[in-house]
A and B are shown apart, each in its own frame.
Chain A
């Protein structure tokens, strides 16, 4: 009786949000992502400041095709995340597990691809301290890679919870919130790929 009262009260706790169509966990994540837009935006502004005011011939060493393929890998991982969410929304726990595993593999593949690109540039003598180009390239892509790594850890944690049957057709908010973070990291890469490699 007390539990029913307590959970009913808990349900009541966020009634104002529900009336606005705002789940509090999703709202919290969107607000956090807004701050991440500003964080990456700050780093991107610094990168662009130097790219435009001090263009460097070293950018010729950037491998557009290789990293373009890597971009494709990360985009695919966004697909697997959203398919995983769709799976659990129809109660398919095994589908969720499969798609999360695929996401982790694809995310890891992306990081391996990035490491490859970093090593390639390093062999040309470009590092954090070798030049301004090196400083801004590695800092910007490095922080993005760090965010991917955090995402992979979160995906693993979500996977473990899915294996323990922590999500169901009526309870999948954690998967959705993880998805928001992952898609955001993908969007950041879409922008980074354009600004660093294409333009």
Chain B
């Protein structure tokens, strides 16, 4: 059945992005733009840190200021950028990809978004009262003793956790109850599978962090003794509660990203995805296994040495489903008709950078190695390869890929390529030296270091500033193209997933006619008119 034309008009102008709007597409854009602003702030904090670290000895920051910039760099990047930006993609894409008109709970969806700006302001406002300085990991007892900004930090993270949790409830309910006719679970795009696997982790892990943050807040504000060792409290308990969430959190930060690149590879290789079920099931496996590995962050905490072994084993096993995905992606691209568009370049960058990060993760899982490199720059390099080289590359791939769908306009391809090259070079220049520094013994979270690490730090700082600069062509491209770029067709990439079978940008109700699905989302290179295997009904205006 069709809707009246008024309901279909996508208008409303830019002002609606500053209001309480229940349209998942508006909310999605609100997420993407807001989180990108926090990305820039987190990046600025990083460049301040790297500027201080370019040379040994104090330059312009004292130890406390350094710790505050460092702590908030990590916290902003993780809680205000990478986790919510992927939720933003989920918000925009999931209803479209499953063929529904919106999410299951549109008002709760708006709430999930609107919790973010105040939480972000609270975290940044902490700089006026003594920002959090105990690292993003906020280990007790230091985090109980630091000034008031640490409490603001805890409150901010609790609010963001709530936002994330409500989002997960929405995603799972939407996928289970609102799929279009014919959209079986085995026809879901892999990005949706990624969001499902992510939501499982958000639902199960986030509340434990919330409980831990409650205990921290109570120790700080109500005089409770949970983490006060001299009164019988136990700082290790905080580490357990923190990492029980924060390890799954890194899968929360990567599973949707893997979903994004799973969408990009088949389109720009003009080949079906290799191992669809393997990739989908590997996402769920990573999710479930991800709940069992957290204490590998605590190998040097003084925990019972025998207890460390199962965590080492599970941390290594989780490499298997990850490897299955990587091989499946490579097999997808293999012998394909590859188009090196900007999204594809970033997706290829993802696979190479994530591989480096992932393999070094397996090194870290080995207890004997971890004992030497824990809390050194080796870990810093590892985490930035997976999070920046990995997830952020995938985010950029997604931003370029879906730019025409979201804005109805095409970005400038040359600027995109310039951005990619600067980003790729910058990433490697910044983080490769850190592996070496860590192996040679440079600790992390230090504002000063022994002079033998100077060259490596200088290289990393140069890379960081290159990265900072590389954001400029992207911002320029995004803004100018959105305002006055050439109008985009409904399906400029000739992709098969449902979001491309409607206008760019989609009408308010997503589809003029709800699609009826009769084939999978990656049947590239296969003849169209095969009996019983017709494609999804395309919208008018394709």
B412 at interface (Cβ–Cβ under 8 A)?
Answer: no
Query: Which A residues are CB-close (under 8 A) to B231?
Result: 131-132
B205 at interface (Cβ–Cβ under 8 A)?
Answer: yes
B218 pairs with A139, CB closer than 8 A? yes
A152 vs chain B, min Cβ distance (A): 21
B241 at interface (Cβ–Cβ under 8 A)?
Answer: yes
Q: Give the size range of A's interface with the partner.
A: 35 or more
Query: Which B residues are CB-close (under 8 A) to A49?
Result: 234, 237
A145 vs chain B, min Cβ distance (A): 14
User: Which of A11-19, A87-95, A105-113, A159-167 sits within the interface?
Assistant: A11-19
Hey, what's the 0/1 contact readout for B172-209 against A, CB within 8 Å counting as 1?
11001111110100000000000000000001111110
Query: Which A residues are CB-close (under 8 A) to B232?
Result: 50, 54, 131-132
Per DSSP, chain A at the interface is helix
Which of chain B's residues has its CB closest to A9's CB? B1
A38 pairs with B204, CB closer than 8 A? yes
**A15, A17, A46 — which one has the most chain B CB atoms within 10 A of its CB?**
A46
Query: Which B residues are CB-close (under 8 A) to A40?
Result: 211
A27 at interface (Cβ–Cβ under 8 A)?
Answer: yes
A38 pairs with B208, CB closer than 8 A? yes
Bound complex: CA of A17 vs CA of B175, how far in Å? 9
A32 pairs with B211, CB closer than 8 A? no
Query: Which B residues are CB-close (under 8 A) to A129?
Result: 222-225
A119 at interface (Cβ–Cβ under 8 A)?
Answer: no
Bound complex: CA of A186 vs CA of B500, how far in Å? 48
**A18, A35, A128 — which one has the most chain B CB atoms within 10 A of its CB?**
A35
A35 pairs with B218, CB closer than 8 A? no
B425 vs chain A, min Cβ distance (A): 42
**B177, B208, B214 — which one has the most chain A CB atoms within 10 A of its CB?**
B177
A46 pairs with B105, CB closer than 8 A? no
A176 at interface (Cβ–Cβ under 8 A)?
Answer: no
A36 at interface (Cβ–Cβ under 8 A)?
Answer: yes
A79 vs chain B, min Cβ distance (A): 28
Known A16-B183, A42-B211: A34·B203 in contact at CB below 8 Å: yes
B222 pairs with A128, CB closer than 8 A? yes
B224 pairs with A135, CB closer than 8 A? yes
Query: Which B residues are CB-close (under 8 A) to A53?
Result: 234
B177: contacting residue among A22, A54, A131, CB under 8 A = A22
B495 at interface (Cβ–Cβ under 8 A)?
Answer: no
**B204, B207, B231 — which one has the most chain A CB atoms within 10 A of its CB?**
B207
Hey, what's the 0/1 contact readout for A22-53 against B, CB within 8 Å counting as 1?
11100110011011101111110110011001
Q: List 19 A-B contacts (CB under 8 A).
A: A2-B4, A8-B1, A28-B170, A31-B172, A31-B173, A35-B165, A35-B207, A38-B205, A39-B207, A39-B211, A41-B211, A42-B208, A45-B241, A128-B223, A129-B223, A131-B225, A131-B232, A135-B224, A139-B218
List chain B positions with a Cβ less than 8 A from chain A.
Answer: 1, 3-4, 100-101, 104-105, 165, 168-170, 172-173, 176-181, 183, 203-208, 210-212, 214-215, 218, 222-226, 231-234, 237, 241, 244, 514
9 smallest beta-carbon distances between A and B, as pairs: A17-B177, A42-B211, A129-B223, A39-B207, A135-B224, A38-B207, A42-B208, A16-B179, A132-B232
